[in-house]
Amino acid sequence: MYKQKNILLYFLYTVVLFLLVSCGEQTVGDQSVVESESSVIESEKSSQLIEESTVEDTAASRENERLETMTLDEKVGQMFLARYPDEDSLAYAIHYDLGGYIWFAKDFSEKDPQIVQSEINAIQADMPIDLFMAVDEEGGDVVRISSFPQYRKTPFLTPRQAFEEGNWSSVEDLAHEQAMLLKSLGFNLNLAPVVDMPNSSDDFMYHRAFSTELADVTKFTELFVSSYTHDKVGTVLKHFPGYGSNVDTHTGVAYDGRSLETLKERDLIPFQTGIDNGSKAILVAHNVMTAIDPDWPATLSPKVIAILRDDMGFEGIIMTDDLIMDGLQAFATPEEAAVLAVLAGNDVLISSDFLVQIPAVIAAVEDGRIPEEVIDAAVLRILKVKIELGLI
């Protein structure tokens, strides 16, 4: 009996020990599976980060390699978005190594779409780096292309009109249709959207702006820029740091007393939204921001442009409004305006006087007034955007 009892106890002990070991093995097994899965996830994350880093490094390598092969003349030429000439557009592009052309209504009025396409294709085919082909196609009063029936039956509505006649989807549809029209003709850059924040319907910029309400302008900016980015057509946010209630700088000087704090609370927010949603460029206005820099228009002010780079973290292209506008003429000659614009931190100069302004900038680099490193930094940003848009 005693022997049988011992045998039974031994048997029970063995069973319990077996169960304990089995449970321990299962726990270890589960932990091993978890650790294995965790390793796979971490490995995938690392691979993704490496892949993203490799893509960025490859793009950076491409733009740096291209820059190293360029002469000073070629680099300075890249910084000019020249007014499209009435004739010899290819010859001018080659001679001045132009970075781009901006087209106006007169350049479309007597041409059908096929002629525009052929002119653009001929230029791009003969240039070592494709040009920015840019246009102002905002909708409403500013429609360089769709104002002519050979391009579209009716001119594009403003984004605000599209919203009032429909909804937010109507705004997205408008942006998409604009981008597709531009792309079909050979354009890769629209000087839009207008993200200025007017204060009332009496303001100069009111009819071109989307709204006086910050939330509406911010949402519009996000939808518009995202749509264009998806369609691989570049956008240019304008007119930094926002017109507000200012007068038209096409016809005179505009003085603006708003503080930086005031701008940050309202006017700069749509620009930041555009940056965050992939806008490639920002156009700077000629308004004199007296509380920030009373001596120079924003276009020529390093202090104003530093807000974009330092405060807002913008790494894309900063471009001037047209340097021929009256709001700038009171401060500098055409040649001096171009030099000052580069020194202020602009990457691209919209120029109707490129025949004199390009030589002026080259001379300023050669005599040491403009460090060549400033030119190089600007051209790298230009090349980066051109790579992103598939132009290189």
Choose one of 27, 54, 69: the last residue of a domain: 69
Choose one of 69, 85, 100: the last residue of a domain: 69
Q: 152 and 122: one domain? A: yes
What pLDDT is recorded for position 23? 44
Q: Could you report the per-residue pLDDT of 9-29, keeping only the tens digit for each?
A: 444 444 444 444 444 444 444
CATH number assigned to the domain comprising residue 367: 3.20.20.300
Q: How many domains does the chain have?
A: 2
What pLDDT is recorded for position 7? 42
Q: 262 and 352: one domain? A: yes
What pLDDT is recorded for position 15? 40
Low-confidence ranges of the chain (pLDDT < 70): 1-59, 246-252
What pLDDT is recorded for position 356? 98
Choose one of 39, 69, 99: the last residue of a domain: 69
In the chain, the amino acid numbered 124 is: Q
Q: 81 and 58: one domain? A: no
What pLDDT is recorded for position 327? 77
What pLDDT is recorded for position 76? 99
Q: 77 and 1: one domain? A: no
Q: 151 and 58: one domain? A: no
If we measure between CA atoms, which residue out of 196, 200, 190 comes closest to residue 210?
A: 196
If we measure between CA atoms, which residue out of 263, 328, 315 comes closest to residue 292?
A: 263
What pLDDT is recorded for position 325? 87
Strands (DSSP E) found in the chain: 80-83, 100-103, 132-135, 137-139, 142-143, 189-190, 234-240, 255-256, 281-284, 288-289, 317-320, 349-351
Q: Could you report the per-residue pLDDT of 90-129, keeping only the tens digit for each?
A: 999 999 999 999 999 999 999 999 999 999 999 999 999 9
Specify whether the CB–CB gap between 77 and 127 falls below 8 A.
Answer: no
Q: 183 and 290: one domain? A: yes
Enumerate the active-site residues.
250, 321
Q: 372 and 273: one domain? A: yes
Q: 15 and 113: one domain? A: no
Q: 63 and 112: one domain? A: no
Domain that holds residue 156: 72-388
Handedness of CA 381, 385, 391, 392 (dihedral sign): positive
pTM over 0.95: no
Q: 62 and 192: one domain? A: no
